[in-house]
Chains A and B, each alone.
Chain A
């Protein structure tokens, strides 16, 4: 049944239009990469800062800016990624690399939600003024530093395996 859905999605007018387009598909591809760039470009500096790199730089303004651009990046990556996906849905779901990427992506989103909840609670308690970054927040930051570059790498590998 699942494979029937994939075939149906692949046969849609939108998917057919993307496959036969000269400009749309490559631009959608570029949009996906732009989203990934904002996503990784936001999570890596913030993750490092939470682990103590650039300690002299105030955390709060940095966090506020990067959380926004990271969210925009994730949204763009997911929307454009969905368009790329439907063009070849059946082949992608059978690719172990693609499936791995989706699992790691899900982990990354979960980690982001957990990280933000921990950070919000810490801020409510006084935040950085109160003392060291909580271990739980540093752990979540460490996970994000592993997960988002891994999503990027897996995405690149799809075309090679």
Chain B
């Protein structure tokens, strides 16, 4: 065959091999939220403000005398986890399991799982939390 075809085929073979090696590993790859730390973090407090919806849902939670922002999911993700507006109401005490901001002074947490009234609501079932 023409040398340009051989060249293309060889590069296609390289790409397919690389993809075949790396793609299956994606399901085990751990990537989190770039602005948060890697360690699992937990915080318990009372909801004082609720702001759900795109681009991100946020709860303002009072804990240990400080106000924290707990990021929950977008509409589909919250609904999937069973987190409705009646569950996430002001005055409700929650425990959020997730990852806190890497910036020491920032009171911001990305929630992976919430525990409310003894019941667990998992926003990211594929992730450890």
Contact = CB atoms under 8 A, between A and B. Distances in A.
A21 B54 contact: yes
Interface in B56-95: 74-76, 79
A56 interface: no
A22 B55 contact: no
Candidate in B35, B52, B55 with the most chain A CB atoms within 10 angstroms:
B55
B55 A25 contact: yes
Contacts of B75: 20-22
Contact of B54 (A19, A159, A160): A19
Given A20-B53, A25-B55, 18 more contacts: A16-B53, A18-B54, A19-B53, A19-B54, A20-B52, A20-B54, A20-B75, A21-B54, A21-B75, A22-B76, A25-B74, A29-B55, A87-B54, A87-B55, A88-B55, A159-B55, A160-B34, A160-B35
Contacts, number: 29
A84 B56 CA distance: 12
Interface of A: 16, 18-22, 25-26, 29, 84, 87-88, 159-160
A18 B76 CA distance: 13
A109 to B, nearest CB: 25
Contacts of A19: 52-54
Contacts of A26: 54
Nearest to A20: B53
Contacts of A159: 55
A18 B75 CA distance: 10
A18 B74 CA distance: 11
Interface in B29-46: 34-35
Contacts of B55: 25, 29, 84, 87-88, 159
Nearest to A18: B54
A18 B52 CA distance: 11
A159 B71 CA distance: 13
B33 to A, nearest CB: 11
Nearest to A84: B55
A159 B56 CA distance: 11
B93 to A, nearest CB: 25
Contacts of A160: 34-35
